[in-house]
Amino acid sequence: MAIPRAAKTLRRTRIQEEKEEQILEAALDVFSARGFRGSTIDQIAEVAGMSKPNLLYYFRTKEAMHRALIDRVLYTWLEPLRAFDAEGNPEEEIRSYIRRKLEMARDFPRESRLFANEVLQGAPHIEDELKGPLKQLVDEKAEVIRAWAKSGKIVECDPYHLIFSIWSTTQHYADFDVQVRAVLGQEHSGEGRFEDAARFLEQLFIGGLRPELG
Amino acid sequence: MAIPRAAKTLRRTRIQEEKEEQILEAALDVFSARGFRGSTIDQIAEVAGMSKPNLLYYFRTKEAMHRALIDRVLYTWLEPLRAFDAEGNPEEEIRSYIRRKLEMARDFPRESRLFANEVLQGAPHIEDELKGPLKQLVDEKAEVIRAWAKSGKIVECDPYHLIFSIWSTTQHYADFDVQVRAVLGQEHSGEGRFEDAARFLEQLFIGGLRPELG
DNA sequence: CGGATATTTGACCGATTGGTAAACATTACA
DNA sequence: TGTAATGTTTACCAATCGGTCAAATATCCG
Positions of strand C less than 7 angstroms from a protein CB: 5-11, 16-22, 27-28
**DSSP type of residue B24:** H
Q: What is the pLDDT of residues B139-181, one digit of tens each?
A: 999 999 999 999 988 999 999 999 999 999 999 999 999 999 9
Burial B49-83 (b: 16+ CB within 10 A, else e): ebeeeebbbbbeebeebbebbbebbbeebeebbee
Q: What is the pLDDT of residues B22-50, one digit of tens each?
A: 999 999 999 999 999 999 999 999 999 99
Positions of strand D less than 7 angstroms from a protein CB: 5-11, 16-22, 24, 27-28
CATH architecture assignment, domain B13-60: Orthogonal Bundle (1.10)
Burial B93-132 (b: 16+ CB within 10 A, else e): bbbbbbebbbebbbebbebbbbbbbbbbbebeebeebbbe
A62-209 folds as Tetracycline Repressor; domain 2 (1.10.357)
Interface of B with A in 149-178 (CB under 8 A): 152-155, 157-158, 160-162, 164-165, 167-169, 171-173, 175-176, 178
Q: Give the start-to-end residue ranges of the domains of chain A.
A: 13-60, 62-209
Name the minimum distance, in Å, from the CA of B46 to any CA of chain A. 19
A34 and B37 within 8 Å at the Cβ level: the answer is yes
Letter for the amino acid at B213? L
The confidence band for B9, taking pLDDT boundaries of 50, 70 and 90, is: very low
Interface of A with B in 42-61 (CB under 8 A): none
Q: Which residue stretches of chain A have pLDDT < 50?
A: 1-10, 213-214
Q: What is the pLDDT of residues B79-117, one digit of tens each?
A: 999 999 999 999 999 999 999 999 999 999 999 999 999
Among the partner-chain residues A38, A127, A172, the one whose CB lies closest to the CB of B168 is: A172
* pTM metric for this prediction: 0.92
- Judged by a CB distance cut-off of 8 A, whether residue A119 touches chain B is yes
- Measuring alpha carbon to C1', the residue closest to nucleotide C26 is A15
Q: Tell me, what's the ipTM? A: 0.91
